Amino acid sequence: MTDIRERIVKRVALELKDGQYINLGIGMPTMVANHVPAGLHITLHSENGMLGVGPYPLENEVDSDLINAGKETVTEMPGCSYFSSADSFAMVRGGHIDLTVLGALQVDREGNLANWMVPGKMIKGMGGAMDLVAGAQRVIVAMEHTTRDGGHKIVTKCTLPFTGLGVVDLIITELAVIAVTPRGLVLQEIAIDTTLDAVRRATGADLIVEGVLGTFQ
């Protein structure tokens, strides 16, 4: 499981661009902070009021007052600043976040996202997801390709409650990198240890394949 998550977040990190302001969602997306390419200068934003979030701390660096939106201890980068939750969400809603990386329960061919509840199960709350997908300039979904029982998470149409409509730009899983376009889901890359047929079987929506597929580790 750890290897799968590491593979996903390392591939996500390759999508980061110099100078971007980025929000990393709770869970797996927060791991992206530990894989920012050397020499790349980005600023990580957390909804609880922190701009300039650093990687997870080493044991001797832990400061219980420094936490992200998922209540995990983090470090701070030089120039880090703090502000109220209201100001934090004003940044999001004002379109000042270049990229957000979120997990998902389902994504469909139109880029619709469901990531906050499964009817009949415990609901932890929407959190900042609805604001982030509406306000961020680009949305990447980082998730495992299928459910634990092998069910489809990439589908023709979401059946779970929506977080946002037509908001997802790119899907990155342990098997594939898929772009959401007006024409549908375009398969851009597959993992080096899988096949196109395996990716198609694991996907509950049609995939558009054009030319030679790229691969990733």
Report whether 174 contacts 7 (CB < 8 A). Answer: yes
Residue 1 tokens read as 């499981």
Distance of CA 174 to the CA centre of its chain: 13
- Is 174 assigned a catalytic role? no
DSSP per position, 111-128 = --EE-S--TTS-----TT
Q: Considering the candidates 6, 15, 47, 189, report the single residue annotated as catalytic.
A: 47
Q: How far apart are CA 23 and CA 102, in angstroms?
A: 9
Residue 42 tokens read as 């980005």
Q: How far apart are CA 169 and CA 139, in angstroms?
A: 5
> What is the Cα gyration radius of the chain?
17
Residue 204 one-letter amino acid: G
Residues with a known catalytic role: 47
